[in-house]
Amino acid sequence: MGEVEVPRRVLFVDDDPVIGRAFRLAVSRFRLEADVASCARDAIALTQTYAYPIVVTDMRMPDIDGLELVECLTRQNPQTTFVLLTGDKDLRLRANGRIDGRIVSILNKPWDTDELCATLKRALDLYDRRSQSQSHAPRDPCVSEDSGLQLLLVEDNPGDALLFMRQLPSQGAVVTHTTRLREALALLHERAFDVIVTDLSLPDARGLDTVMRLQEAAPDSTVVVLTGLDDEALALQIVECGAQDCLLKGRFDGPGLVRSLRQARERKRCSQRLADLARTDPVTGLANRSGFNQRIGQALSRARRQEGRVAVMFLDLDGFKEVNDRFGHSAGDELLKLVGTRLTAVVREYDAVARLGGDEFALLVEDVGGRCDPAEFAERIVSALAEPVQLGDVSHVLTASMGVAIYPDSGITAERLLRAADQAMYVAKRRGRNRFHIYATDDHAVESVPPPAG
């Protein structure tokens, strides 16, 4: 007896139930089953229990738009392919390098069934190729870990640079070579490198300052120093400044160099894990105040270079003390976790959510302006939190008051922006809670209308 072919499942996301039923019927004709979600939050919940090869989503939804949903779901399963649906025949998508390669096609409503079938077939083929490529990735421990390693070499001596690159295995790192610190810093602003290998003596930099400036420009990169000085005290100072290792020129061979780079990377990963723990809230798993301040600093640096705008949102739950008093602190902790989950589902991949302590949360929203209007974003957050929560036998309506501060209008430092957002939050509370308030020095602030009761 032959094996029975099990229909493959796809996820369809649209807030119109009629369209959902039509899609389920259409795909059943070519042996596909469809799970239907009416909003992004339901879609995210479904993808946590099943890895869908294809997600077909409407561009316009009540909570977040289709592109933002693609960003969120791509983090959960990088192999998933996406098809976007739109009723706007003149739709122009904003460019997004994180997800453009995940979108197979954009179909107009109402769809042509043959075109839909052909599109889903292409999406399935792409998913299968990605999955097969992932499962057959090379596992050779001597090679695979370093394949594709992006390495920046900062060395002005051509002989030392050539010797270093010859010692690397041919199938190892992809090396970008520069001879000056300013050129290295310019490259680090444009792209990410896994490892930076640098001499201490360069035409435009000297000594430990080289290490500190590279570390500041690329805090997530492993830094290894090349030096001709066999000085243990100097080596210790180099590590204290943030480098992961110090190599003597001419004292390593190919295997020794590869081993040193791997060990340096692992030391960097260990230090990052410890740093992440120090910057993480233990209850919700979100960033804590320290981690959030770091993210704001990085975002402001980008905004200054690109003349961009950044929003900082300060959020305080209404009536949280009563929840703890009535249902206990364990129920309060579960509620805080739920708030973190709802906030994370609303923001985009490159935004940030933090719990600052107690029932206080904060959000960092980058690239404010254009399609990302801070007032609309804040309304979406307030609405997402207002969904009822089951606490024991009681259905509890969760509300929050939120203040919004925008760089550079409300301040140009992380401290000032947080203070302005906090002040705006208290204005929202005084005006009735369950709303937001945008900080403005002239007091002509924008305030949302609270959603109707029930």
List, for residues 204-258, the tens digit of each pLDDT value: 888 888 888 898 888 888 999 988 888 888 888 888 888 889 888 877 777 778 8
**Which of 277, 299, 319 marks a domain boundary?**
277
Looking at per-residue pLDDT, the higher value among 140 and 232 belongs to 232
Determine the average pLDDT of the residues in 420-447: 78
Between strands 310-317 and 360-365, the pairing is: antiparallel
Residues 31 and 88 in one domain: yes
Give the angle subtended at the CA of 177 by the CAs of 174 and 180, to the nearest 5°: 150
Domain span at residue 225? 144-277
Tens-digit pLDDT profile for residues 110-125: 888 888 888 888 888 8
Inside any domain, residue 449: no
Looking at per-residue pLDDT, the higher value among 178 and 388 belongs to 178
Inside any domain, residue 452: no
Catalytic residues: 359
Q: Please report which helix (H) or strand (E) contains residue 268, including its range.
A: helix 254-278
Residues 272 and 303 in one domain: no
Quote the CA–CA distance of 381 and 399 in Å, as a whole number.
10
Residues 58 and 148 in one domain: no
Q: How does residue 175 score in pLDDT terms, banded at 50, 70 and 90?
A: confident
Residues 175 and 41 in one domain: no
Inside any domain, residue 283: no
Residues 307 and 433 in one domain: yes
Residues 112 and 169 in one domain: no
Tens-digit pLDDT profile for residues 270-279: 877 777 778 8
Determine the average pLDDT of the residues in 335-345: 88
Q: Where are the beta strands (DSSP E) in 109-171?
A: 150-154
Residues 310 and 392 in one domain: yes
Q: Where are the alpha helices (DSSP H) in 4-101?
A: 17-28, 40-47, 66-76
Whichever domain contains 297, its CATH number is 3.30.70.270
pLDDT score of 170: 53
Q: How does residue 99 score in pLDDT terms, banded at 50, 70 and 90?
A: low
Looking at per-residue pLDDT, the higher value among 77 and 342 belongs to 342
Residues 295 and 434 in one domain: yes
Residues 240 and 297 in one domain: no
Residues 198 and 109 in one domain: no
190 and 206 Cβ atoms separated by less than 8 Å: no
Q: Which amino acid is at 329?
A: H
Inside any domain, residue 445: no
pLDDT score of 128: 81
Q: How many domains does the chain have?
A: 3
Residues 317 and 395 in one domain: yes
Inside any domain, residue 413: yes
Residues 173 and 222 in one domain: yes
Query: Looking at the predicted structure, is the pLDDT value of residue 443 above 50?
Result: no
Whichever domain contains 66, its CATH number is 3.40.50.2300
